[in-house]
Amino acid sequence: MVDLKGQYKGIKNVVDSSIQDVLNTSTYINGPKVHEFQKNLERYLGVKHVIPCANGTDALQIAMMGLGLKSGDEVITADFTFAATVEVIALLNLTPVLVDVDPDNFNIDIEAVKKAITPKTKAIIPVHLFGQCANMEALMAIAKEHDLYVIEDNAQGIGADYTYSNGEKQKSGTIGHVASTSFFPSKNLGCYGDGGAIFTNDDDLAHILRGIVNHGMYKRYHHDVVGVNSRLDSIQAAVLDAKLPHLDTYNNARRDAARKYNKAFANHDKIETPKTVNGCEGICDSCNCHVFHQYTLKVKDVDRDGLVKHLNDNGIPCGVYYPIPLHKQKAYANSSYEESNFKVTNQLIKEVISLPMHTELDNEQIEYITNKILEFVNG
């Protein structure tokens, strides 16, 4: 699904020397590399504060802690996402409220969010699933009207632009009150271990978050708030700082691969290629609205699991993200959920298939993959 070895070959010199810098200074925790990377990422995103932490799941949890959400507060999020999003809501004794998603772009359904709001609702967590932003303009308007926080789960969307209806663009993860991201190795900006970060433009919130990641400590051994221990270590920061200048090139390579996949499946009556929110024809060169963390097809009247097996049998990795909706997971099932409210996710789990997507895909690989898919689908 990803080719981290191939990617490393291309940047070996910069990565190795960046790591060597850390080894030479032996400042493994909170060293200068962490600060350098933080500043470079702030500049890249155009956001006031980046707070590095240990992973993307922690980032979400710390963001919610920083907002002061309390037991019993309701947090609305998408039914169709990785479990981390709902896991941390539950861990903090907040009440997750799962809602359906849009069948075209897989992101949280705006009408479903509106319907789910109650007097207890305190926050909405849109997940920029597979690499394209949820409808942030609509979500921010809803949040303003009902006095809610918006926490962007940007683990899959780093580098993507969100385009407002007036054409203005802003980087994903810089629009909501706060955002989280993950630097897990297979993410679009991945380190060589675990890593994550929180973004915000709010100075007061940033101050609180910097304390929480470090045991609630602002002055050594003075603990002002309940915190956690969640750090990005210097070696991971060194890898990330070496890779950050390549992020746009990497995302372009992903888009390029997506364009080729799209072309191979164009106008096929059983294969639906991913739709971009902005409705750009195919994937235009100037538009950065989708960074294809995953390239996910929907197949109709096709034995999807048979297709997965056919690809695996031919040496092609592929994934089903996600095979079970969160509202049906044992840990999160709840008698208040009505199946009629999850028509889209219940259908998507039967139709989706994600193809190999990374920065090193070549034409030959894409041709082999698309031919094997068409061979199965066309019978």
Ligand X SMILES: *Cc1c(COP(=O)(O)O)cnc(C)c1O
Contacts with ligand X, residue ranges (CB under 6 A): 55-57, 81-82, 84-85, 127, 153, 155-156, 182, 184, 194, 196
CB atoms within 10 A of CB 341: 19
Number of alpha carbons in the 13 Å side-chain half-sphere of residue 86: 22
147-186: b (≥16 Cβ within 10 Å) or e = ebbbbbbbbbbbbbbbbeeeeeebbbbbbbbbbbbbbbee
Q: Which residue number has the CB closest to ligand X?
A: 56
What minimum distance in Å lies between the beta carbon of 19 and ligand X?
Answer: 20
CB atoms within 10 A of CB 25: 12
DSSP reduced 3-state for 298: strand
What minimum distance in Å lies between the beta carbon of 84 and ligand X?
Answer: 4
Nearer to ligand X, 194 or 241 (CB): 194
What minimum distance in Å lies between the beta carbon of 58 and ligand X?
Answer: 7
CA 63, CA 210: separation in Å to the nearest integer? 10
CB atoms within 10 A of CB 266: 10
Nearer to ligand X, 160 or 271 (CB): 160
What minimum distance in Å lies between the beta carbon of 186 and ligand X?
Answer: 8
Residue pair 194/167 in contact (Cβ under 8 Å)? The answer is: no
CA 236, CA 74: separation in Å to the nearest integer? 34
Nearer to ligand X, 57 or 296 (CB): 57
Nearer to ligand X, 106 or 261 (CB): 106
115-141: b (≥16 Cβ within 10 Å) or e = ebbeeebbbbbbbbbbbbbbbbbbbbe
What minimum distance in Å lies between the beta carbon of 196 and ligand X?
Answer: 5
Nearer to ligand X, 208 or 326 (CB): 326
Residue pair 182/56 in contact (Cβ under 8 Å)? The answer is: yes
Nearer to ligand X, 254 or 372 (CB): 254
Contacts of 122 (CB under 8 A, 6+ apart): 67, 69, 73, 74, 75, 94, 148, 149
Nearer to ligand X, 155 or 238 (CB): 155
What minimum distance in Å lies between the beta carbon of 24 and ligand X?
Answer: 28
What minimum distance in Å lies between the beta carbon of 59 and ligand X?
Answer: 7
Q: Which two tokens stand for residue 290?
A: 């989708």
Angle (CA) 149-150-155 rounded to 5° is: 140
What minimum distance in Å lies between the beta carbon of 149 and ligand X?
Answer: 17
Question: What pairing do the DSSP bridges indicate for beta strands 95-99 and 121-125?
Answer: unpaired
What minimum distance in Å lies between the beta carbon of 362 and ligand X?
Answer: 26
Nearer to ligand X, 21 or 102 (CB): 102
Nearer to ligand X, 182 or 341 (CB): 182
What minimum distance in Å lies between the beta carbon of 328 and ligand X?
Answer: 18
Q: Which residue, chain included where needed, has tokens 């390029």? A: 256
Nearer to ligand X, 57 or 95 (CB): 57
Backbone angles phi, psi at 278, to 5 degrees: -75, -5
Question: What pairing do the DSSP bridges indicate for beta strands 295-299 and 74-78?
Answer: unpaired
